[in-house]
Structure 1
Amino acid sequence: MLERLGVHGTRVLRKEDLDGLDALIIPGGESTTISKGLDRLGLFEPIQAFARSGGAILGTCAGAILLARECENHPVPTLGLLDMRAVRNAYGTQVDSFVAPADSDAPADLAAMRCVFIRAPQIADLGPEVEVLLRVDGLPVLVRQGRVLASTFHPELADDPRVHALLLGL
């Protein structure tokens, strides 16, 4: 996805890997495993510092959970970079995965987006500085607070670069 946008990605496994980056993507996967990995690698504070210093961050699905100030059904720490509560696995299990169109009131640059949900979290209890960018069935699925974006769906699975382009434009 990034290469389609003319950007070379790099893995972040050490705090030094954040040096010189403009943006960071925390991918989907299993949020407990990712959280434990960030802790084991000592990356919680460096990622928080990256965000405080103006680095742009996108969290998709499990990554969105990790960006939240708190999460239901999540026994490990989050980064707390977005003033929201995430509800882990809110839409059900793997067999409950689905694809849905964005609501018709989506902004023009995100209109007609297909959203792929796999054991997706739900966004709840948004703080006043969190802007809803996209909804599905009236529920927020893409939000922004400053230069931090959270998507409860997987834009890369719909082969749609617009969310990643939004990150790069922050």
Structure 2
Amino acid sequence: MRHIGVLALQGDFREHLTALARLGVCTTAVRSPAELSQLDGLVIPGGESTVIDRLARSYGLTDPLRELIASGVPVYGSCAGMIMLADRIENPAISATGRVQESFGGIDMTVRRNAFGRQVDSFESSLKFNGIELDAVFIRAPEAVQIGPTVQVLCSVPAQLPGFHDRIVAVRQGNLLATSFHPEVSGSNAIHEFFINMTRGDA
């Protein structure tokens, strides 16, 4: 049985734990470096990327998470998790003390926080992922505004104005997967199933 952890510092980690358990995998809510050991995969959930950054540092998880990502263990990030897996943040938050928001990194991309607007601008869009049509829920979602040559685009939202590029909302680079949207609240299992297959080497 696959053993997949969900970073449980903040955000909708419970929904990811429920979705994974529904698909028959063993899950762990990760809040300490020790809980990263013996995992077949890790999910970084949606939430507030600035808070996840701050709490990861407080819990001593930032460097262990970067080491886990670099080691090749499959990691999936949704929404804020996509920001945390990006090598670069176009518009990082800056704290009152002047500290610039950091990510864990891993995917050669630049992301823009809150690219689709504020909470009131949340929306659903029908997308095709790995040949499967699904309804994607976007809540203060980021987008990938630049990707490196080894990053695969899995989903895009069509540009709303002529002459503009489609907006990248799902990417993969090696064992790292990221989506702007929240599959854990849509009722679709497609993304979680795809990630579980990644941990088996079947995707």
Question: By how many angstroms is 1:53 displaced?
Answer: 1.9
- From 112, 121, 125, give the equivalent of 2:142: 121
Give the equivalent residue in structure 2 for 1:134.
155
Q: Runs of at least 4 residues of structure 1 off by over 4 A?
A: none
Structural RMSD (CA): 1.2
Question: By how many angstroms is 1:67 displaced?
Answer: 0.6
Give the equivalent residue in structure 2 for 1:87.
112
Q: Deviations over 1:100-152 (max 9, x none)?
A: 0115xx532xx211110000001111001110111221322110001111100
TM-score, normalised with respect to structure 2: 0.79
In structure 2, C-alpha distance between the alignment counterparts of 1:121 and 1:115, rounded to whole Å? 13
Give the equivalent residue in structure 1 for 2:195.
167
In structure 1, C-alpha distance between the alignment counterparts of 2:45 and 2:81, rounded to whole Å? 5
- From 23, 41, 48, give the equivalent of 2:59: 41
In structure 2, C-alpha distance between the alignment counterparts of 1:54 and 1:66, rounded to whole Å? 16
Q: Deviations over 1:10-41 (max 9, x none)?
A: 11111110100011010000110011011111
Q: What is the aligned residue count? A: 166
Larger Rg: 2
Q: Any idea what SS the aligned residue of 2:29 has? A: coil
- From 154, 173, 176, give the equivalent of 1:148: 176
Structure 2: segments with no counterpart, 5+ residues = 1-18, 94-100, 159-165, 199-203
Q: RCO higher in 1 or 2 (8 Å CA, sep ≥ 6)?
A: 1
Structure 1: segments with no counterpart, 5+ residues = none
- From 43, 53, 66, give the equivalent of 1:25: 43
Q: Any idea what SS the aligned residue of 1:140 has? A: strand
In structure 1, C-alpha distance between the alignment counterparts of 2:188 and 2:26, rounded to whole Å? 17
% identical equivalent positions: 42
Give the equivalent residue in structure 1 for 2:14.
none
Give the equivalent residue in structure 2 for 1:69.
87
